[in-house]
């Protein structure tokens, strides 16, 4: 899954465990620049927890851009 298209967009993420979060994607990190170099990561300013929430692509069941 490529998370780059979601950079600087409002998104709705459904985690693999069924939890849902919405927010604005503030940062995007390609897999090559992550610690394990396996998965893309994004950080979003979420409406559920506030602050900056990091999410790895391996945690995501689905993601969509919202208005």
Alpha carbons within 13 A on the beta-carbon side of 62:
7
pLDDT at 1: 85
Per-residue pLDDT at 40: 96
Predicted pLDDT of residue 67: 85
Domains of the chain: 4-65 (2.30.30.100)
pTM: 0.88
d(CA 57, CA 48): 19
Q: What pLDDT does 51 receive?
A: 84
Local confidence pLDDT in tens for the 67 residues of the chain: 899 999 999 999 999 999 999 999 999 999 999 988 999 999 999 777 778 999 999 999 999 999 8
Q: In this structure, are residues 38 and 31 in contact, taking their beta carbons and an 8 Å threshold?
A: yes
């Amino acid at each position: 899954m490529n998370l780059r298209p979601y950079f600087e967009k409002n998104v709705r993420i459904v985690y693999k465990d069924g939890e849902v979060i919405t927010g604005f994607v503030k940062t995007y990190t390609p897999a090559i620049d992550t610690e394990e170099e396996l998965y893309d990561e994004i950080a979003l300013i979420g409406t559920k927890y506030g602050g900056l929430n990091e999410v790895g692509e391996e945690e995501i069941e689905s993601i969509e851009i919202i208005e």
